[in-house]
């Protein structure tokens, strides 16, 4: 085969093997040199080496010609492979996902396992077993989306308003000691504004064991706040009410954006404190209902809003930015 007749890369490789390869024509000649007279050996050897260099140069030139011809063919078809490619923008995590992972990491290091639960929940778990019977005023605070169907005559189905139902589901199935965090989406029938969405993510915290006290609640949440917002943060427990804890508290951290008394501060509005979660000691009736002796076992629980914590961390003033799918907002993180 002549080199000029070689029409593509595969044929070129075939030519190379045939002529220059290990058992190619030229290699045969070089191998034959061993049996020649010294003078003849030198002359043939030199000639063969010259021929080898020329053949290799011809091979390179032909290879170059072939790829140029291929490019020209593609250009003639309207494809210009020499144009720079379209830049690929690397994706990134949503700021709320980042905060969520940070929260789970912090509690993970303290020994809490992360578990998930259903977003479509029974009335009984979202309310009833959390000591919020029908007609209880706490239901007004947590109105939600209801389903028409009933399954097996069980209590009506709804979109859960908080992650607290997993407190009940978990202790129904597991004995103390319990140390879990439950991340997940929650839904509320809500008129949205800068700090309220109809869908938001919470992380529930639950610890039940012998001898757990309010000091454990405060210490754990304080350590969490420091890791999340900085080592100099102070936390404040304020009295609050949730039917499934006794006593109930709200946990606030001191403002990290102003000295604590600036009425124009977008983070605390001059109050000096930012509420980040509801918490309390698990109600003894809930521990008893799961089959454990409330004189022996005590525990604490907390529920925090992941969007709110993200807002505080990055100084975001409107919660609705998170789910508006505006890339100009999301690309900043």
Confirm if 238 and 249 have CB atoms less than 8 A apart: yes
Does position 277 interact with ligand FA5 (CB under 6 A)? The reply is yes
Does position 305 interact with ligand FA5 (CB under 6 A)? The reply is yes
Nearest to 121 by CA among 192, 169, 170, 183: 169
Confirm if 187 and 311 have CB atoms less than 8 A apart: no
Least CB distance from residue 163 to ligand FA5, whole Å?
Answer: 7
Burial (Cβ within 10 Å: 0-12, 13-18, ≥19) of residue 20: middle
Q: Which is nearer to ligand FA5, 59 or 301 (CB)?
A: 301
279 is catalytic: no
Phi, psi of 87 (to 5 degrees): -65, 140
Question: How many chain residues bind ligand FA5 (CB under 6 A)?
Answer: 23
Least CB distance from residue 85 to ligand FA5, whole Å?
Answer: 42
Nearest to 113 by CA among 37, 174, 44: 174
Question: Among the candidate windows 59-67, 78-86, 188-196, 227-235, which touches ligand FA5 by CB under 6 A?
Answer: 188-196
* Per-position x/- string for 42-71, each x denoting binding to ligand FA5 as judged by CB under 6 A, each - no binding: ------------------------------
Phi, psi of 157 (to 5 degrees): -95, 145
Nearest to 98 by CA among 276, 228, 268, 278: 228
From the list 164, 220, 298, 310, which residue makes contact with ligand FA5 (rule: CB under 6 A)? 164
Q: Which one of the listed residues 162, 201, 203, 302 is annotated catalytic?
A: 162
Which residues form the interface with ligand FA5 (CB under 6 A)? 162, 164, 188, 190, 196-197, 200, 202, 242, 245, 275, 277-280, 301-305, 307-308, 319
- Catalytic site residues? 142, 162, 188, 202, 245, 301
């Amino acid at each position: 085969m002549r080199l000029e007749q070689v029409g593509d890369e595969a044929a070129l490789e075939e030519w190379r093997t045939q002529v220059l390869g290990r058992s190619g024509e030229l290699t045969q000649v070089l191998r034959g040199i061993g049996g020649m007279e010294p003078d003849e050996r030198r002359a043939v050897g030199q000639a063969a080496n010259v021929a080898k260099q020329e053949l290799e140069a011809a091979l390179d030139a032909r290879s170059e010609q072939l790829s140029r011809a291929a490019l020209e063919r593609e250009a003639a078809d309207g494809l210009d492979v020499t144009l720079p490619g379209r830049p690929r923008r690397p994706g990134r995590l949503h700021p709320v996902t980042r905060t969520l992972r940070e929260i789970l990491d912090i509690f993970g290091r303290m020994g809490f396992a992360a578990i998930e639960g259903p977003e479509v929940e029974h009335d009984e778990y979202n309310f009833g077993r959390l000591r919020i019977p029908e007609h209880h005023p706490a239901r007004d605070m947590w109105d939600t989306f209801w389903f028409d169907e009933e399954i097996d005559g069980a209590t009506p189905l709804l979109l859960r308003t908080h992650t607290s139902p997993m407190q009940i589901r978990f202790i129904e199935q597991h004995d103390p000691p319990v140390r879990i965090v439950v991340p997940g989406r929650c839904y509320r029938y809500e008129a949205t504004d800068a700090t309220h969405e109809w869908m938001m993510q919470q992380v529930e915290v639950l610890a039940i064991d012998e001898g757990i006290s309010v000091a454990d609640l405060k210490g754990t949440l304080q350590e969490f706040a420091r890791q999340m917002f900085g080592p100099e943060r102070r936390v404040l427990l304020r009295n609050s009410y949730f039917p499934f804890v006794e006593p109930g508290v709200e946990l606030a951290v001191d403002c990290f954006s102003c000295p604590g008394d600036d009425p124009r501060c977008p983070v605390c509005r001059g109050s000096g404190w930012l509420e980040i979660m509801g918490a309390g000691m698990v109600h003894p009736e809930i521990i008893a209902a799961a089959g454990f002796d409330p004189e022996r076992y005590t525990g604490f629980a907390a529920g925090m809003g992941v969007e709110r914590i993200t807002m505080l961390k990055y100084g975001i003033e409107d919660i609705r930015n998170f789910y508006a799918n505006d890339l100009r907002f999301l690309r900043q993180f």
